[in-house]
């Protein structure tokens, strides 16, 4: 693992300073551009910020992988996530192996970017560990005996030559969601086992379920999906760094489902943290309508993620249950499958609890919105009550009888006295309302004190 103390490596410290300078310029320029008002703002912002990012990418490209790993270890969490996106994708797996477990899992779980190029990776067992081989042509399979072939966003041509190599037909990842739920798990006549499952992808900007097709044939697991997933990346590193972690293709499949349940649990913890912050804000303050709207939007987002986790867990349970009922697993694998089912049962309870907490918070926020509206309506009601007797006096002043009664009085004096009388009537009405509210508050306080004494 990487030693975080970089004081003895002057060269690395120089490169670290360069990276931090580029990241600081990238952040500073971005903030300055966003504050400026100008036409085609987004285009200019993108062009200015790409300058420093391009320099950072070029710097990483010419540095040794160990140096890049040391630099990433020394950066702050926010800087590390920005810098990690500029590391060449073909070097990421090797760099991840050099990082500590905490940093590695943070980068993997971040779901930093989906894979935008075709990837075919084969994995065989070497000294009890998975060994990864990037496959670019059929001849690359000649010297390996894979137990797992992983395809990410394969083109029809790639799916065709990989399928011919092993005598199977690989599905199009774009059509995996078209299957009915009852047709996701089945066995072909030649004992070819098919499973189509959803895996959670929880990133900072969005959360969704990604369909993955599994085919188990001749003790080889084939997985096909449209983009890279943190669960797959994490499992590859675990199997490559822990001897005896997997022994065959079914172990790989079960470990992927177990990692998916673990990843869902991590996402639930994030929801817990977000809802805890919302709860403190709702219960410790009286939110305004604008704040309540933002809170409702945040709660709705957490509810959507919780629903996706529940669906993902349900799909994983059905897949593992299918493997157990079909007696495809060895006794040891059956025990692993039962442990996965127990983990899923515990996640079900957590998702149900979160749904209840979300409903409570939404009701509380809506209640505060209603209170704010009632307060505004109450103020309008007071105003209408104050002006009601004033309107009566004003109506009397507008009658012809009033003019007849004040015919001997100059009109400025008569209507001035009427105006003063209207003001006095309005003020007396306001005082009467305030006195009534104070009486009501005292009566409520006395009733509360009486209830408290009775309970004591």
Does residue 392 form part of some domain? no
Check which CATH number belongs to the domain holding 341 and give it.
1.20.58
287 neighbors 368 (Cβ within 8 angstroms): yes
Distance, CA of 63 to CA of 15 (rounded, Å)? 9
pLDDT of residue 299: 85
- If we measure between CA atoms, which residue out of 200, 213, 133, 202 comes closest to residue 172? 213
Q: Rounded to an integer, what is the distance from CA 210 to the centroid of its chain? A: 15
Q: Judge if 143 and 223 occupy the same domain.
A: yes
Residue 99: phi and psi, rounded to 5, are -90, 165
Does residue 440 form part of some domain? yes
- Sign for the CA dihedral angle at 288, 290, 292, 298 comes to negative
Look at residue 66 and give its three-state secondary structure. helix
Neighbouring C-alpha atoms within 13 Å toward the C-beta of 301: 19
- In the chain, the number of structural domains is 4
Final residue of a structural domain among 206, 232, 247: 247
Q: Judge if 70 and 128 occupy the same domain.
A: no
Q: Judge if 143 and 59 occupy the same domain.
A: no
Q: Rounded to an integer, what is the distance from CA 300 to the centroid of its chain? A: 11
Distance, CA of 59 to CA of 79 (rounded, Å)? 15
Q: Judge if 165 and 120 occupy the same domain.
A: yes
- If we measure between CA atoms, which residue out of 150, 159, 101 comes closest to residue 124? 150
Domain around 449:
398-455
Distance, CA of 338 to CA of 152 (rounded, Å)? 29
Which residues touch 289 (CB under 8 Å, ≥6 apart)? 369, 372
Which tokens belong to 358?
């979300």
Which tokens belong to 256?
């992927």
Does residue 434 form part of some domain? yes
Look at residue 454 and give its three-state secondary structure. helix
Distance, CA of 12 to CA of 65 (rounded, Å)? 12
Neighbouring C-alpha atoms within 13 Å toward the C-beta of 173: 22
Q: Judge if 130 and 221 occupy the same domain.
A: yes
pLDDT of residue 71: 87
DSSP state letter for 170: P
pLDDT of residue 410: 79
pLDDT of residue 224: 92
Q: What is the tens place of the pLDDT at every residue in 37-78?
A: 544 445 445 555 566 677 888 888 888 888 888 888 888 888
Q: Judge if 187 and 225 occupy the same domain.
A: yes
Q: Judge if 97 and 204 occupy the same domain.
A: no
Helix then strand count (H, E) for the chain reads: 13, 7
Does residue 299 form part of some domain? yes
Final residue of a structural domain among 61, 78, 113: 113
Tokens 């103390």 sit on residue: 5
Q: Judge if 118 and 105 occupy the same domain.
A: no
Task: Round to the nearest angstrom and report the end-to-end CA distance of the chain.
Answer: 62
Does residue 23 form part of some domain? yes
DSSP state letter for 283: H
Which tokens belong to 121?
């990776």
Does residue 388 form part of some domain? no
Q: Judge if 129 and 226 occupy the same domain.
A: yes
Q: Rounded to an integer, what is the distance from CA 117 to the centroid of its chain? A: 25
268 neighbors 111 (Cβ within 8 angstroms): no
pLDDT of residue 6: 42
Final residue of a structural domain among 226, 247, 268: 247
pLDDT of residue 335: 93
Does residue 155 form part of some domain? yes
257 neighbors 340 (Cβ within 8 angstroms): yes
Does residue 173 form part of some domain? yes
Q: Is 260 exposed, middle or buried (0-12, 13-18, 19+ CB in 10 A)?
A: buried
- If we measure between CA atoms, which residue out of 127, 148, 125 comes closest to residue 253? 148
pLDDT of residue 112: 43
Which tokens belong to 31?
């903030």
20 neighbors 27 (Cβ within 8 angstroms): no
- Sign for the CA dihedral angle at 69, 74, 80, 86 comes to negative
- Give pLDDT tens digits along the chain (456 positions): 444 444 445 778 888 888 888 888 777 766 665 555 544 445 445 555 566 677 888 888 888 888 888 888 888 888 888 888 888 877 777 787 788 867 876 776 544 444 445 478 888 888 778 888 888 888 888 888 899 999 988 888 888 888 888 989 888 887 776 555 556 788 887 778 989 888 888 876 677 888 899 999 988 999 998 888 888 888 777 777 777 778 888 998 999 999 888 888 888 888 888 888 888 877 777 777 777 788 888 888 888 888 888 888 888 899 999 999 888 888 999 999 999 999 988 888 888 888 888 888 888 888 777 877 777 777 777 777 777 777 777 776 666 666 666 666 777 777 787 788 778 877 888 888 788 777 877 787 777 777 777 776
Q: Judge if 205 and 257 occupy the same domain.
A: no
pLDDT of residue 222: 93
Where do the DSSP E strands lie in 68-128? 119-126
Which residues touch 340 (CB under 8 Å, ≥6 apart)? 254, 257, 258, 261, 316, 320
Q: Judge if 67 and 9 occupy the same domain.
A: yes
Q: Judge if 266 and 226 occupy the same domain.
A: no
């Amino acid at each position: 693992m990487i030693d975080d103390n970089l004081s003895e490596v002057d060269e690395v410290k120089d490169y670290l300073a360069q990276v931090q300078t580029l990241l600081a310029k990238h952040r500073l320029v971005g903030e300055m551009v966003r504050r400026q008002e100008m036409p085609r703002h987004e285009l200019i912002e993108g062009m200015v910020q790409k300058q420093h990012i391009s320099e950072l990418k070029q710097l990483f490209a010419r540095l040794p992988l160990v140096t890049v790993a040391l630099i990433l270890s020394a950066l702050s969490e926010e800087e590390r996530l920005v810098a990690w996106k500029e590391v060449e994708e073909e070097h990421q797996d090797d760099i991840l192996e050099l990082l500590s477990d905490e940093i590695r899992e943070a980068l993997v779980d971040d779901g930093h970017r989906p894979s935008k190029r075709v990837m075919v990776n084969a994995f065989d067992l070497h000294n009890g560990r998975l060994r990864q081989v990037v496959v670019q042509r059929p001849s690359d399979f000649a010297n390996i005996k894979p137990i797992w072939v992983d395809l990410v966003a394969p083109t029809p041509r790639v799916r065709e030559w990989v399928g011919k190599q092993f005598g199977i037909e690989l599905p199009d990842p774009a059509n995996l969601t078209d299957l009915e739920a009852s047709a996701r798990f089945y066995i072909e006549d030649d004992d070819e086992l098919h499973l189509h499952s959803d895996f959670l992808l929880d990133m900072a900007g969005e959360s969704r379920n990604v369909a993955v097709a599994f085919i188990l044939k001749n003790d080889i697991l084939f997985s096909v999906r449209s983009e890279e997933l943190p669960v797959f990346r994490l499992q590859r590193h675990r199997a490559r760094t822990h001897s005896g972690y997997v022994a065959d293709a079914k172990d790989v499949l079960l470990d992927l489902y177990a990692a998916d349940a673990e990843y869902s649990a991590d996402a639930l913890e994030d929801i817990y943290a977000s809802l805890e912050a919302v709860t403190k804000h709702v219960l410790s303050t009286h939110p305004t309508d604008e704040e309540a709207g933002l809170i409702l939007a945040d709660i709705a987002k957490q509810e959507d993620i919780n629903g996706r986790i529940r669906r993902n867990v349900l799909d994983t349970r059905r897949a593992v249950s299918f493997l157990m009922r079909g007696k495809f697993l060895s006794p040891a694998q059956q025990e692993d499958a039962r442990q996965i089912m127990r983990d899923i049962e515990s996640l079900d309870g957590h998702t149900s609890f979160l749904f209840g907490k979300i409903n409570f918070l939404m009701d509380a926020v809506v209640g505060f919105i209603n209170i704010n509206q009632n307060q505004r309506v109450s103020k309008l009601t007071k105003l209408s009550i104050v002006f009601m007797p004033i309107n009566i006096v004003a109506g009397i002043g507008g009658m012809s009888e009033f003019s007849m009664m004040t015919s001997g009085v100059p009109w400025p004096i008569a209507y001035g006295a009427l105006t003063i009388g209207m003001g006095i009537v309005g003020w007396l009405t306001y005082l009467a309302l305030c006195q009534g509210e104070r009486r009501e508050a005292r009566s409520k306080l006395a009733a509360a004190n009486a209830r408290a004494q009775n309970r004591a």
